[in-house]
């Protein structure tokens, strides 16, 4: 079969022949229809991820859409190495296959679950976003950030603010449900004022942070009180990513003057919660309530697709 085969960490995978997979107990062979190219796929292949392969060659790709032998279309994850999702066929645990609802195309079904389930779990289960609350999404112009804006609205947020750098995608956030946007490409003082203006409207109940670094430092400075005041609400900040920097400087006054709780996303939810999130995301995608921008790339072009710069807010989907 043809596959995207990685021979050396840090290099692009090659389009070439690879051995056919066979299923062991509690496994299934999947005929792949589409597989998304994500940041984690690049990290694994670069050798920088804690789960990067120790033995090569391997086939790239962590999840995708495919057909079982009985014709059932499924979203699958966790291919058994050396097999991966970017191939004509792969082998996965049966428990990691989820039926795909009718009405969602292969590209969307492949691109949506990984970022969509992540955003759903972060908002619904970690931040515990409640109807009527206000949510700020830091890094809202990325694929996951755009979905977080949409999901916050679906969960009943009264007000959603998206913060990002890309002008085109900031405009798109309005179409996706954002009530306001903040441009991050401005001076620290101007950005601080922008955060403070939005916080003055109704405060932030939930902050989903895909950035960390300077934007988060500026945000925390903006919500730090300069005088004694009654606390009217708690702010839950969930730290998810670090695309703007791996560390921040946190002043003690931030925690003493505001009712701020900082949470991480560590730990796997129960299978019941994970399955529910998957069903929610896929069904919402099938009816058009969740949208993700995709670009189809043939598997034969994987090397060039892997090496080019990823388009902001768009997910590449590899088609065998």
Backbone phi and psi for residue 34, each to the nearest 5 degrees, phi listed first: -165, 145
Whether residue 121 is found in the same domain as residue 257: yes
Q: What is the pLDDT of residue 228?
A: 58
User: What is the reported pLDDT for 9?
Assistant: 94
Distance CA 69, CA 87 (A): 16
Residue by residue, pLDDT tens for the chain (320 residues) are: 999 999 999 999 999 999 999 999 999 999 999 999 998 899 999 998 888 999 999 999 999 999 999 999 999 999 999 999 999 999 999 999 999 998 899 999 999 999 999 999 999 999 999 999 999 999 999 999 999 999 999 999 999 999 999 989 999 999 999 999 999 999 999 999 999 999 988 889 999 999 999 999 999 999 987 665 566 679 999 999 888 889 999 999 888 888 899 999 877 788 889 889 999 999 999 999 999 999 999 999 999 999 887 777 889 999 99
* Residue 272 falls inside a structural domain: no
Which residues on neighbouring strands pair with residue 159, listed in sequence order? 134
| CATH number where 104 lies | 3.90.180.10
Same domain for 122 and 171, yes or no, is yes
pTM for this one? 0.90
What is the domain count for the chain? 2
d(C-alpha 144, C-alpha 238), whole Å:
14
Q: Are residues 137 and 259 part of one domain? A: yes
Whole-angstrom Cα distance, residue 89 to residue 49? 25
Nearest to 319 by CA among 108, 39, 96, 118: 108
| Dihedral angle computed from the Cα positions of residues 294, 299, 301 and 303, in that order, rounded to the nearest 10 degrees | 100
Residue 104 in any domain: the answer is yes
d(CA 155, CA 68): 33
What span, in angstroms and rounded, lies between the C-alpha atoms of 124 and 284?
Answer: 15
For residue 265, the model assigns a pLDDT of 87
pLDDT of residue 51: 87
Structure tokens at 249: 């400087």
Classify residue 284: in a domain, yes or no: no
Q: Are residues 19 and 147 in the same domain?
A: no
Contact partners, residue 158, CB within 8 Å, separation at least 6: 131, 132, 133, 134, 202
Q: Are 200 and 229 in contact (CB under 8 A)?
A: no
Residue 279 included in any domain = no
Same domain, 80 and 171: no
Asked whether residue 190 is domain-assigned, the answer is yes
Pair (64, 189) in one structural domain: no
Q: Quick check: is 174 in a domain?
A: yes
pLDDT confidence of residue 229: 59
Same domain, 215 and 87: no
pLDDT (0 to 100) of residue 226: 67
What domain range includes position 212?
115-263
Q: Are 97 and 271 within 8 A, CB to CB?
A: no
CA dist., res. 213 & res. 53, Å (int): 29
Residues 6+ apart with CB under 8 A from 228: none
Shared-domain flag, residues 238 and 145: yes
Enumerate residues 6+ apart whose C-beta is below 8 A from 290. 112, 116, 147, 150, 151, 154, 281, 284
């Amino acid at each position: 079969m043809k596959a995207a085969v990685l021979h050396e960490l840090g290099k692009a995978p090659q389009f070439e022949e690879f051995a056919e997979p066979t299923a062991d107990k509690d496994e299934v062979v999947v005929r792949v229809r589409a597989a998304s190219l994500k940041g984690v796929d690049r990290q694994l292949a670069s050798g920088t991820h804690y789960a990067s392969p120790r033995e090569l060659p391997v086939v790239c790709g962590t999840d995708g859409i495919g057909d079982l032998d009985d014709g059932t279309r499924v979203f699958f994850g966790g291919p058994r190495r050396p097999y991966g999702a970017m191939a004509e066929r792969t082998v996965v645990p049966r428990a990691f296959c989820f039926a795909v609802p009718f009405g969602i195309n292969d590209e969307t079904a492949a691109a949506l679950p990984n970022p969509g389930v992540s955003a759903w779990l972060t908002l619904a289960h970690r931040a515990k976003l409640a109807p009527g609350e206000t949510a700020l999404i830091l890094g809202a112009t990325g694929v996951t950030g755009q979905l977080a804006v949409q999901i916050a609205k679906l969960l009943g947020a009264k007000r959603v603010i998206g913060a990002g750098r890309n002008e085109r995608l900031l405009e798109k956030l309005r179409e996706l449900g954002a009530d306001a946007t903040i441009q991050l490409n401005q001076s620290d003082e101007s950005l601080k004022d922008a955060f403070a203006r939005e916080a003055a409207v109704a405060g932030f109940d939930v902050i989903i942070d895909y950035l960390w670094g300077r934007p988060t430092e500026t945000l925390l400075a903006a919500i730090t009180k300069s005088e004694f005041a009654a606390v009217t609400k708690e702010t839950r900040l969930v730290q998810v990513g670090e695309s703007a920097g791996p560390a921040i400087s946190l002043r003690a006054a931030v925690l003493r003057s505001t009712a701020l709780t900082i949470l991480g996303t560590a730990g796997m939810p129960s299978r019941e919660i994970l399955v529910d999130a998957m069903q929610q995301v896929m069904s919402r995608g099938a009816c058009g309530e969740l949208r993700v921008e995709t670009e189809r790339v043939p598997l034969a072009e994987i090397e060039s697709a892997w090496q080019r710069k990823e388009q902001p807010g768009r997910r590449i989907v590899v088609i065998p």
